[in-house]
Amino acid sequence: MREMQPPVRFPLLSAVKRAKAQWQRLFGRLRRAVLTGHQRQLRVRETLAIGDKRQLLIVQCGERQLLIGAAGNSLTMLAELPHPERPEGDAA
């Protein structure tokens, strides 16, 4: 009787396939962003240092404004702020 041989594995080929798949995903996202005119939705509007490695940030996400607390390696959403009124003549 013939002995069953274990399947031959090609780790380098497998790594190349994974890298190609990752590149295709990244390129697809980039292409969609360029074609759709994607603009960044997140903007840090203001920061305030309140101590050693601690700060408050006002972050705009689309039409929402969030108050974020940052300390060390953690971020916490503290509140959602009302959208400020735009001054007369501000077309943005």
pLDDT computed for residue 72 by the predictor: 85
34 shares its domain with 50 = no
pLDDT computed for residue 86 by the predictor: 57
pLDDT computed for residue 48 by the predictor: 94
pLDDT computed for residue 9 by the predictor: 65
Number of structural domains the chain divides into: 2
46 shares its domain with 30 = no
Cα–Cα distance for residue pair 19/28, rounded to 1 Å: 14
From residue 57, alpha-carbon distances to 2, 38, 39, 80 in Å are 69, 24, 21, 12
27 shares its domain with 49 = no
59 shares its domain with 34 = no
59 shares its domain with 77 = yes
Cα–Cα distance for residue pair 68/74, rounded to 1 Å: 10
34 shares its domain with 47 = no
23 shares its domain with 49 = no
pLDDT along the chain (92 residues), means of 10: 66 76 76 65 89 90 89 90 65 50
50 shares its domain with 35 = no
pLDDT computed for residue 38 by the predictor: 58
47 shares its domain with 77 = yes
Question: Which residue segment(s) compose the domain that 76 sits in?
Answer: 42-81
H or E stretch at 8:
none
Cα–Cα distance for residue pair 60/21, rounded to 1 Å: 33
Cα–Cα distance for residue pair 45/65, rounded to 1 Å: 9
